[in-house]
Amino acid sequence: MKTVNSYNFAGKRALVRVDFNVPLNERFEITDDTRIKATIPTINKILNDGGSVILMSHLGRPKDGPTDKYSLKHLVTPLSVVFGRPVKFADDCIGQSAIDQAATLQPGEILLLENLRFYKEEEKGDVAFAEKLSKLGDVWVNDAFGTAHRAHASTAVIGQFFEDRICGFVMQAEIDNAQRVLEHAERPFTAIMGGSKVSDKILLIEKLLDKVDNLIIGGGMTYTFTLAEGGKIGKSICEPDKVELAKELIKKAAEKGVKIYMPVDNICADDFSNDANRQTVAKGEIPDGWEGLDIGPESAKLFQSVIESSKTVLWNGPMGVFEFPNFANGTNAIADAVVKATEENGAFSLIGGGDSAAAVNNAGYGDRVSYVSTGGGALLEYMEGKVLPGVAALQ
């Protein structure tokens, strides 16, 4: 793969696929700019070389073409602040405005294209659409690891129209850090799996059973395991059709010598809301009409002790409904332990994107762990051993 460091962008218009799918509030202000900040080194390298930058991204999931809510025009001002120069905007990613502005772009200038997904052809991986995009630049840079698992027009299909296909710093760092955890992990290696569904993580868990010493399971998926062990889970989220699978995973872990840690207590609520009545109960003893929304204090202590003595930590998925402050304690306790392992025990800690990244960043710990991934689904698929179209297109 050609990398940003090994390429001279002088006099080139770099068409850069970024992942600016950032959360916006009702006033269209960015509430988490992690993904934007992650692309700064790639964009600055191109500009400092004497090149110009044409940024292309999607935002949200627009269903019916152009929608104000999903317009990337809302990012023009914040991006101008981040890069210390005015960012130009084309209100149609393949329209005349984009063609004209790209053609006259000068070294050091930045042009942002409108949301790619305003065209259905983007997600369909349409070749003709990819070719139209390709005509805007001289060289293609893919720095959108978060969408690398999709064979979309801008993330993969477009590669065939460029002689120079460059791997951006974000993409490179994501691959390097995932490889470090999968192939060069220092022991003890602990993986923490959270989130609501076993089915989402099943392939990754199976792969990790060959790699890890400890597997901590939290979040909504624990209730499927509790059911597998004959416990009572009230009205907690659960996948009854995955109970046999959960039993099989427990058996496989035992055969491979992997220690599985599950919550020994849960905080449950009589309603799915922050203000619901709460009680702490032992594992498998959630009363009818109540649902588990977080791990309990004893579970948090148990998990913390395992994490703090680890040398490699992979964390993907929260321990509970951390969006509700009353049910965020378990997730915050894990974040504390991962930071402690990193800073005091010299552990390498990789935070898998999505909710785990949000939890770490919200706690202000983003720069106190080894690496926070920007790609949720893409990281999962890469770690499961799947070929990512966005990575393959660079090779």
Q: Which residues are catalytic?
A: 35, 197, 354, 377
d(CA 324, CA 327): 5
d(CA 171, CA 321): 30
CB atoms within 10 A of CB 8: 11
Residues β-bridged to residue 372: 351
Name the burial class of residue 306, with classes exposed (0-12), middle (13-18) and buried (19+) by CB atoms within 10 angstroms of its CB: buried
The closest of 373, 362, 281 to 322, measured between CA atoms, is: 362
- Collapsing DSSP to helix, strand or coil, 287 comes out as coil
d(CA 343, CA 187): 16
| Residue 117 · residue 58 · CB < 8 Å | yes
d(CA 14, CA 8): 11
d(CA 159, CA 161): 5
CA angle 160, 165, 114 (to 5 degrees): 80
Radius of gyration (C-alpha) of the chain in whole angstroms:
22
The closest of 16, 349, 316, 4 to 158, measured between CA atoms, is: 16
DSSP annotation string for 153-195: TTTTGGGGG-S-EEE-HHHHHHHHHHHHHHHSPPSSEEEEE-S
Residue 56's identity, in one-letter code, is M
CB atoms within 10 A of CB 31: 9
